[in-house]
Amino acid sequence: MSMIRDLRAAVRPSLRKPSPAHSLYDPTRDPSASSAVVDCAVYRGGRRLPGECLSPRESMRRVREDGGFVWIGLHEPTEAEFAGIAKEFGLHPLAVEDAVHAHQRPKLERYDDTLFTVFKTIHYVEHAELTATSEVVETGEVMCFTGRDFVITVRHGGQGSLRALRHRLQDDPELLAKGPSAVLHSLADHVVDGYIAVAAAVQDDIDEVESAVFAAPAKGSPRGVDAGRIYQLKREVLEFKRAVAPLQRPLELLSERPMRLVDPAIQKYFRDVADHLARVHEQVVGFDELLNSILQANLAQATVAQNEDMRKITSWAGIIAVPTMICGVYGMNFDHMPELHWKYGYPMVMGAIVGICFTIHRALRRNGWL
């Protein structure tokens, strides 16, 4: 019997439990490993520590042993992919659910020792010509979990990559040394800078539509602009507004209210970002009001053009009524009618028709009807 037990132990070593002392990164055994992880790095003293293919668990172990913080970037993780990371860092289930399913409005929430921030990213879609179906802005989302020694960014959407932001921060060790709150500020600043660029591009589209509405129409072309173009641009501006307006309150809290997870030296930087956001918000509100005015002006111009057409039709109908009436009278088959058998009756009637029509036409032109 002892021989059989020894044989089983030799052919089935995989059934033994791995040693807890094993610390090498093995994605098949590490529940925090995820294919959705775009980058994972440890920062200490404002510098990124060398090392590739570190799992979130291994990175966090190094941080807790030697200090610093870990920054993990993910792109559109599933619930299963995010579950290990959420358990490792003790993230609140409600925040995890928001981060996985996205479609959240910008907000700032605090769960124990973690700040959860949601940003809407905006990308301007280039187009040769604005039409009634043109997409002007494209939205995405970036969620940020900020703790004492970690930052986890979750990105949704094809736009808004944070690679350039990470490299820019790594080029500024003095700022990065201030910890996770410096990353949160840089992320907010990055998002708001994107808003400023998109606002400038949307302003050009609005100026183009405004010029088209009030420009003199070419000969033979209809007056005004297709209202569908204006309405589509208004819808895109409304989507822009939904990203900008709700973010004002979170930035006010980050810049004014003392928080344990935000370095006091970083708060003045948040005030600068909040000021830029307020300026963008004023622009977007102005865009909405201006588009309302442009749409009303376009509709008014269409109404004026229709009235002008109706006046012209009415004027010509009045002119044509004169020969119609005279010819109708002399088309009656009565024997005893004045000038019916008169030699100069026909020339007189034709001259009367031409003279009366000319007089009416001249009077209508003088009054601006023709």
Which residue shows structure tokens 């490993």? 33
Distance, in Å, from the CA atom of 129 to the CA atom of 205, rounded to the nearest integer, reads: 9
- Both 252 and 317 in one domain: the answer is no
Q: Give the model's pLDDT for residue 70.
A: 93
Mean pLDDT of the chain: 82
Residue 330 reports pLDDT greater than 80: no
Contact indicator for 369, 311 with CB cutoff of 8 Å: yes
Residue 63 reports pLDDT greater than 90: no
Domain that includes residue 198, residue range: 21-303
- Both 95 and 243 in one domain: the answer is yes
Q: Give the model's pLDDT for residue 216.
A: 64
Q: What is the CATH number of the domain that holds 326?
A: 1.20.58
Between 355 and 184, where is the model more confident?
A: 184
- Both 195 and 109 in one domain: the answer is yes
User: How many structural domains does the chain have?
Assistant: 2
Is 103 among the domain residues? yes
Residue 49 reports pLDDT greater than 90: no
- Both 247 and 331 in one domain: the answer is no
This prediction's pTM: 0.74
- Both 358 and 215 in one domain: the answer is no
- Both 25 and 113 in one domain: the answer is yes
From residue 206, how far is each of 121, 147, 243, 297, 313 by CA, in Å? 21, 42, 19, 14, 35
- Both 268 and 337 in one domain: the answer is no
Mean pLDDT of 127-153: 88
